Structure 1
């Protein structure tokens, strides 16, 4: 029988005041997203979907690198493969595009299994380069496959049966589901017993293994989950864009963007990807017209954070002042307050 422990001077709790506020805000934000088609214009809706994709992508890469210890610079392989699978199912097999967005997740899962088997013995930069090679192989293979449009790409013709309003509504609701599965799923995972093992593995894999954590199995599951989550991002993004090419789906800029968001926001935290996604999205809207100079500034900011603030913006603010938007550990609070 499990007993709860109540210290004399306080209570043991997993939730915090900040955590309750963050969950309330997140629920309100999702409900607001669901209502967008009835009051917002199409440009606003597309921007919200795009931001949702950035946030989900950052959360998946953070789970992979920040907790699993696997730094990948080839996650665009899973994004592009899922998007191409969705286009092929819809255009060539007559499957409804929204149903194809779910079925196409089998493609990144099937790609992740042999990829991990091939790269699992590699560490550090060797693992990272290996993932990039896999992404390039996928890009070159699809670029030379006429059935998939070769280098010119494909258009999602199957979406023509839907009106603009119906497309926006379906994509938006799918984006909400994507956020629940990726961001919400990460939060649920890290609050479970597997999350404790992941945190231990993040801090010291050897020590975690000595305490009975099956590090190899856990890493594989994280790699597989991150691949499927990244594939879902590709499905939602290109379901909205309606056009896909190898150079777009397997663009290395995807990983550059996600590394910026996670590194600057705070790797190995749930709050960091959210902060990084907001920062990147705002900077992209305000300064993207500056072209190369804008990208150089983002790169320099990432470098400065890596050198002088490795825990990112969240580590320098929320971590220092004990803010906890998405608490995953147990905390001791006083009876009067937190």
Structure 2
């Protein structure tokens, strides 16, 4: 490896640009390549990166060409949820470190294949569950260590209808649970220091189907943990666009000796203008004094450091595979209307 970690970005949409922004200001990183389904979008992203004072990345026609580029040490996969699995296997086989947007995959079989390839080829891999770097959530992890056994958890992550109808062109290839609850399942399992063993889930279809998007409006997952805690994971994405934030997020964990509540609806700023009222988001992504900051940038910085040192990331690839297992079981439960047991991998990073 050279003095800088040389990165290829796969996908030039919202998340590809978000990752590029967080990476482009780092002295220990160089974005050397970009690819996307749309060559024009990849070229535009390459131009934006060079416009920030960096060398213009090479624009490759496809993932295969990018993985063959000797000037790429690591890849950042920012493609739709359902295509991550094969890409991770190919990247691992090519000896490239991997950062993948959540969820890791939408199939346990694909997740298991990715874990095998990653471990066999010795690359560093992490799923970008950036919520573990939100200061309040990290503080909650420490506080809960003093409150006894976890008992009951609730996590809500609901989006406005803008997300499945305008932000995502592939909403019918995923669900609100894959897209939203994946964050919360990773977070709550980390906070509880435990793994889900059984789930029962229900879903509602209606609003989005009426708009020609065949995906549930909302999903609720009831989860039992191996040491007895129970949790509810709620996701929906049909809030009206008049809601003051695109996402409404709340987490609570009740333990034997206390409770921790985490409400991210407001993030310390309230903005009122003649045309509306909003709560600007700033914990995950922000630019502070010209420098990318927030939990998103902090999580990416952690992955870069692990790639450069060979350390195990805080979020192991096994733990992210286990999130996929919970969600696959939940979707099976929706279809069968029965509880479904979850088979977990041992997590080498578990407390």
| TM-score of the alignment, normalized to the shorter chain, above 0.5 | no
Q: Tell me which structure has the larger Cα radius of gyration.
A: 1
More helix by share: 1
More strand by share: 2
TM-score of the superposition, structure 1-length normalised? 0.26
TM-score of the superposition, structure 2-length normalised? 0.25
